[in-house]
């Protein structure tokens, strides 16, 4: 296979070819690294490229393949890591001038498992400072551009990871999600973005937003998302909230189908204001699941927007973390982050107690829904991608509040339900639209089964961005 063809392969395909000795890990990594050199300057997905380390690892795996060793489930798969997760002996800046030359000395549990499975880390991907917003730009590395239209945002905060996968700069990107940060860029870039059940993939070291935070994959296919979940899931004693008893064969079980399942579709959760074109595309995609044998019905929800509650946990946590540094180092922060830190630092103990009770009340509002319906389907986002330079969908400074454009994601960080964003169509302007599939507590497999069913009904993996990021097959 030529280099361009290698860059279009899914992780599952890469592993299969390597096991058959039809391609070597070093050949795949070399193709991806060359692709990064060619495409990244235009889109700014990667902030650090690990060429020497990646090729050294690939060389070791080449030898293992040629010896006939037992190979890991991700042997030879090039993977990018968001510049917010700990990677051993790697520069980890968190997108902040406060940590320009910071090197982490240990792996996060998910990274440790990926390494053991044979993944090859090719670089670190861009993120807004400390992942504080739903678009990807920072004062250290600049903005990451949407490959479908480089004048638009990629979304965030795992925007670099999404753009890398969307343009063939690696089949898998690992991101984090505290309010939608995997699902937002997945929707804006036309990918699968999985936020598994809270605790399914362990978190470590601790962060200021641990009760909301999920680590997970961005991929082109559902099979790849299932494979990555299988590798990364499972209890880790460093994370007291990590879950044991994970399903051990996600990749094969996702093929079992969704015949007879009851699926509810909500266009607004009872409080969202959604772009009509986005709502129409998502409703049509959800109804197509009838082809797979599901019973699909529109549901009229009257849920209350939990943004203020989420805000206390997320922005309050960030404010508590960085507030003490404002006086001496505040000028180094993104102006938007500085404002949030100042606001978050003003929250009182009573505010956090109130937020905890509100969170519990929201759980009791949402959890009963899944007693009668297997899955809830919504738009992933309320809008299509918007211009670079805006932190929110409304023009800078005119938004009524942050995240009014992503009302479907942060609610399920509060509850911990599993959720995935999958491609479901394109706007008239040729921009991707994502559909969110939400499962009952711990029903990661159900979410993936429905995503796989939709993928079979209306495949998306062969759709690549045009023009400057075109992948020539």
Q: Do 85 and 192 have their domain in common?
A: yes
Q: What band does 248 get if pLDDT is binned at 50, 70 and 90?
A: confident
Torsion over CA: 148, 152, 155, 159 (sign): positive
Q: Do 18 and 67 have their domain in common?
A: yes
Taking residues 257-284, what's their average pLDDT? 97
Give catalytic residue positions.
Answer: 82, 157, 181
Task: Encode pLDDT of 330-372 as tens digits.
Answer: 999 999 999 999 999 999 999 999 999 999 999 999 999 999 9
Q: What's the length of the chain? A: 473
pTM attached to this predicted model:
0.97
Side-chain-side CA neighbours of residue 285 (13 Å): 34
**Amino acid 467: pLDDT:** 61
Tokens of 123: 């670089």
Looking at the domain assignment, is residue 360 inside a domain? no
Q: Do 197 and 52 have their domain in common?
A: yes
Residue 11, C-beta contacts closer than 8 angstroms, at least 6 positions apart:
74, 77, 79, 171, 172, 219, 224, 227, 228
**Amino acid 395: pLDDT:** 62
Looking at the domain assignment, is residue 282 inside a domain? no
- What proportion of the chain, given as a percentage, has pLDDT over 70? 97
Average pLDDT, the chain: 95
What's the CA gap between 132 and 137, in Å, rounded? 10
Q: Last residue of a domain, which of 353, 377, 408?
A: 353
- Burial, 288: exposed, middle or buried (Cβ in 10 Å; 0-12, 13-18, 19+)? middle
Q: Do 154 and 236 have their domain in common?
A: yes
Q: Do 339 and 238 have their domain in common?
A: no
- The DSSP code for 153 is E
Task: Encode pLDDT of 162-181 as tens digits.
Answer: 999 999 999 999 999 999 99
Q: What band does 470 get if pLDDT is binned at 50, 70 and 90?
A: very low
**Amino acid 371: pLDDT:** 95
Looking at the domain assignment, is residue 300 inside a domain? no
- Where does 3-88 have alpha helices with state H? 3-6, 11-19, 25-43, 51-67
Task: Identify which of 60, 66, 81, 53 has the alpha carbon closest to the alpha carbon of residue 19.
Answer: 66
First to last CA, the chain: 10
Q: What band does 472 get if pLDDT is binned at 50, 70 and 90?
A: very low
**Amino acid 403: pLDDT:** 84
**Amino acid 396: pLDDT:** 52
Q: Are 7 and 471 in contact (CB under 8 A)?
A: yes
Q: Do 30 and 170 have their domain in common?
A: yes
Task: Encode pLDDT of 394-427 as tens digits.
Answer: 765 555 567 889 999 999 999 999 999 999 999 9
Task: Encode pLDDT of 428-459 as tens digits.
Answer: 999 999 999 999 999 999 999 999 999 999 99
Residue with tokens 């969170």: 359
Task: Identify which of 127, 167, 130, 129 has the alpha carbon closest to the alpha carbon of residue 146.
Answer: 167
Task: Identify which of 340, 103, 402 has the alpha carbon closest to the alpha carbon of residue 209.
Answer: 340
Residue with tokens 């240990």: 106
What's the CA gap between 146 and 33, in Å, rounded? 20
Q: The CATH number of the domain where 446 resides is what?
A: 3.90.1300.10
Taking residues 266-283, what's their average pLDDT? 97
Residues 219-237, buried b or exposed e (16+ Cβ, 10 A)? bbbbbbbbbbbbbbbbbbe
Task: Encode pLDDT of 62-77 as tens digits.
Answer: 999 999 999 999 999 9
Q: Do 77 and 217 have their domain in common?
A: yes
**Amino acid 469: pLDDT:** 47
Q: Are 268 and 149 in contact (CB under 8 A)?
A: no
Looking at the domain assignment, is residue 271 inside a domain? no
Q: Do 449 and 404 have their domain in common?
A: yes
Task: Identify which of 113, 70, 64, 71 has the alpha carbon closest to the alpha carbon of residue 88.
Answer: 113
Task: Encode pLDDT of 76-124 as tens digits.
Answer: 999 999 999 999 999 999 999 999 999 999 999 999 999 999 999 999 9
User: CA angle, corner 414, sides to 409 and 415, nearest 5?
Assistant: 100
Side-chain-side CA neighbours of residue 251 (13 Å): 12
**Amino acid 261: pLDDT:** 98
- The DSSP code for 387 is B
Looking at the domain assignment, is residue 264 inside a domain? no
Looking at the domain assignment, is residue 293 inside a domain? no
Q: Do 150 and 52 have their domain in common?
A: yes
User: No. of H helices and E strands in the chain?
Assistant: 16, 17
Q: What band does 471 get if pLDDT is binned at 50, 70 and 90?
A: very low
The boundaries of the domain holding residue 332 are 307-353
CA 113 to centroid of chain Cα atoms:
18
Looking at the domain assignment, is residue 142 inside a domain? yes
Looking at the domain assignment, is residue 380 inside a domain? no
Taking residues 460-473, what's their average pLDDT? 71
Q: Do 394 and 445 have their domain in common?
A: yes
Q: Last residue of a domain, which of 353, 379, 407?
A: 353
Task: Encode pLDDT of 200-216 as tens digits.
Answer: 999 999 999 999 999 99
Overall number of domains in the chain: 2
Residue 70, C-beta contacts closer than 8 angstroms, at least 6 positions apart:
none
Three-state DSSP state, 162: helix
Q: Do 341 and 230 have their domain in common?
A: no
**Amino acid 402: pLDDT:** 74
Q: Do 18 and 73 have their domain in common?
A: yes
Q: Are 172 and 219 in contact (CB under 8 A)?
A: yes
What's the CA gap between 95 and 18, in Å, rounded? 35
Q: Are 183 and 159 in contact (CB under 8 A)?
A: no
Torsion over CA: 353, 357, 358, 363 (sign): positive
Q: Which phi and psi angles does 193 have, rounded to 5°? A: -130, 115
**Amino acid 459: pLDDT:** 98
**Amino acid 473: pLDDT:** 39
Strands (E), 247-389: 262-265, 295-298, 375-379
What's the CA gap between 372 and 277, in Å, rounded? 29
């Amino acid at each position: 296979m030529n280099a361009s063809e290698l860059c279009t392969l899914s992780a599952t395909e890469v592993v299969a070819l390597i096991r058959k000795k039809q391609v070597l890990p070093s050949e795949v990594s070399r193709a991806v690294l060359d692709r990064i050199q060619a495409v990244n300057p235009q889109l700014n997905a990667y902030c650090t490229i690990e060429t020497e380390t990646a090729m050294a690892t690939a060389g070791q795996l080449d030898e293992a393949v040629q010896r006939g060793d037992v190979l890991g489930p991700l042997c030879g798969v090039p993977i990018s890591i968001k510049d917010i997760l700990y990677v051993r002996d790697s520069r980890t800046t968190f997108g902040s001038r406060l940590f320009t030359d910071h090197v982490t000395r240990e792996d996060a549990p998910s990274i440790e498992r990926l390494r053991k499975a044979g993944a090859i880390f090719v670089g670190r991907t861009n993120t807004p400072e400390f992942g504080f917003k739903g678009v990807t730009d920072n004062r250290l590395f600049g903005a990451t551009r949407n490959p479908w239209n480089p004048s638009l945002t990629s979304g965030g905060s795992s925007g670099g990871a999404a753009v890398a996968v969307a343009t063939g700069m690696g089949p898998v990107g690992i991101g984090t999600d505290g309010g939608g940060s995997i699902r937002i860029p997945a929707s804006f870039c036309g990918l699968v973005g999985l936020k598994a059940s809270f605790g399914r993939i362990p978190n470590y070291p601790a962060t200021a937003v641990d009760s909301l935070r999920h680590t997970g994959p961005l991929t082109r296919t559902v099979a790849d998302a299932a494979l990555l979940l299988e590798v990364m899931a499972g209890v880790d004693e460093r994370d007291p909230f990590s879950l044991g008893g994970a399903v051990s064969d996600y990749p094969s079980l996702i093929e079992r189908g969704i015949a007879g399942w009851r699926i509810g579709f909500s266009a607004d959760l009872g409080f969202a204001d959604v772009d009509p074109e986005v709502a129409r595309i998502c409703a049509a995609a959800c109804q197509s699941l009838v082809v797979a044998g599901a019973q699909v019905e529109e549901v009229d929800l009257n849920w209350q927007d939990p943004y203020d509650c989420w805000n206390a946990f997320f922005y309050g946590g960030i404010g508590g973390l960085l507030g003490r540094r404002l006086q001496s180092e505040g000028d180094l922060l993104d102006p938007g982050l500085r404002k949030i830190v100042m606001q978050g630092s003003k929250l009182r103990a009573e505010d956090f107690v109130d937020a905890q009770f509100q969170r519990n009340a929201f759980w009791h509002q949402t959890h009963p829904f899944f007693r009668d319906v297997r899955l809830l389907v919504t738009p992933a986002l309320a809008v299509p991608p918007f211009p670079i330079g805006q932190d929110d969908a409304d023009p800078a400074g005119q938004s009524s509040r942050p995240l009014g454009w992503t009302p479907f994601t942060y609610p399920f960080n509060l509850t911990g339900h599993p959720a995935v964003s999958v491609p479901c169509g394109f706007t008239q302007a040729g921009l991707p639209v994502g559909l969110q599939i939400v499962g009952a507590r711990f029903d990661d497999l159900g979410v993936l089964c429905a995503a796989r069913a939709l993928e079979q009904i209306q495949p998306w993996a062969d759709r690549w961005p045009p023009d400057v990021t075109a992948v020539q097959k």
